[in-house]
Amino acid sequence: MPELPEVETMRRGILGIVGATIVKAARTPCSKRPITIKPRIDHLNKRIQGKTIASVDRLGKRVVIRLDSDDRLIFEPRMTGLVLIADPPTQEHLRFCLQLKKCPVKNVLFWDRRGLGNVTLLSPSEYETKLTDGKLGPDALAISAAEFPKRFHGTQREIKVAMLDQKIVLGIGNLYAAEILHLAGVHPQTRCDQINAKRWQLIYQRMIEVFELAIEYEGSTLSDGTYRNAINGEGSYQNEHRVYDREGQACPRCKDAKIFRIVQAQRATFFCKRCQTKR
């Protein structure tokens, strides 16, 4: 967390900075664990000061600000990072500030409670070598229905575990994998090589449906309240969750069985034993 819908919401929330000129970047005073910023601030500023923001893109779970120099300033939220243009949830966890001019938005902020996120400036060649060029899978909202099952071909891993692999498909995380599989009626421990073509297409369809609706609802703000959109507001897709973090509650699909919790690859998985039987 944040996953694809939350990061896409962040991206859309800062689109107003396109066309702005960068004044400078600063590592904000913070007594907490420092985040990784590369290159160091003085070197970063030499490359970005005076540059114009050409676009705001997303690469899976990363917000990518592309400059007119074609360098990319990349925000990777990891567990608790937020990209904001409004006052942050707390001042003590504010990590980075990008000052702008020629734009109604004066600052882009990076806030991170746990300090696991990072900010990185990459040249076009570095961006291709480190992040594209076969290093990551196609985006979950860009991959075709025909290509989707091919990405999982040859693996005997459990489907829920494989869906989290960003080298296979980019953007799916723990929360949304559980929701997708519940809607598709697929047991999370089903091996990928045991899923037939019809079932793969159903998983794909449910993935698109879940992500599009979650983006419409501006993501999921969980009980810890960490995730916020770009103007420090809550998402609302958490009200649509069917299984995630609902252990012991009635399944919304069959209305009878309880939601069950297991651990896969050190991550909690929630599902309904009745609706998601092993085949």
Is the same domain home to 119 and 160?
no
Report if residue 66 sits inside a domain.
Answer: yes
Is the same domain home to 12 and 126?
yes
Residue range 2-17, pLDDT digits in tens: 999 999 999 999 999 9
**Domain boundaries, position 61:** 4-131
Q: For the residues of the chain, what is the DSSP string, one character each?
A: ---HHHHHHHHHHTGGGTT-EEEEEEE---SSPPPEEES-HHHHHHHHTTPBEEEEEEETTEEEEEETTS-EEEEE-TTTEEEESS--S-STTEEEEEEEESSS--EEEEEESSS--EEEEE-HHHHHHHHSTTSS--BTTTS-TTHHHHHTTT--SBHHHHHT-TTTSBS--HHHHHHHHHHHT--TT-BGGG--HHHHHHHHHHHHHHHHHHHHTT----TT-----TTS----GGGG-SSTT-TTSBPTTTSSSBEEEEEETTEEEEEETTTS---
CATH number of the domain within which 65 lies: 3.20.190.10
Q: Which of 11, 58, 61, 242 is catalytic?
A: 61
pLDDT tier at 52 (50, 70, 90 boundaries)?
Answer: very high
Specify whether 61 is catalytic: yes
Specify whether 2 is catalytic: yes
pTM of the shown model: 0.96
Report if residue 279 sits inside a domain.
Answer: no
Specify whether 3 is catalytic: yes
Q: Which of 76, 104, 131 is the last residue of a domain?
A: 131
Q: Which of 114, 191, 258, 267 is catalytic?
A: 267
Q: Is the pLDDT of residue 224 over 90?
A: no
Q: Which of 2, 5, 77, 88 is catalytic?
A: 2
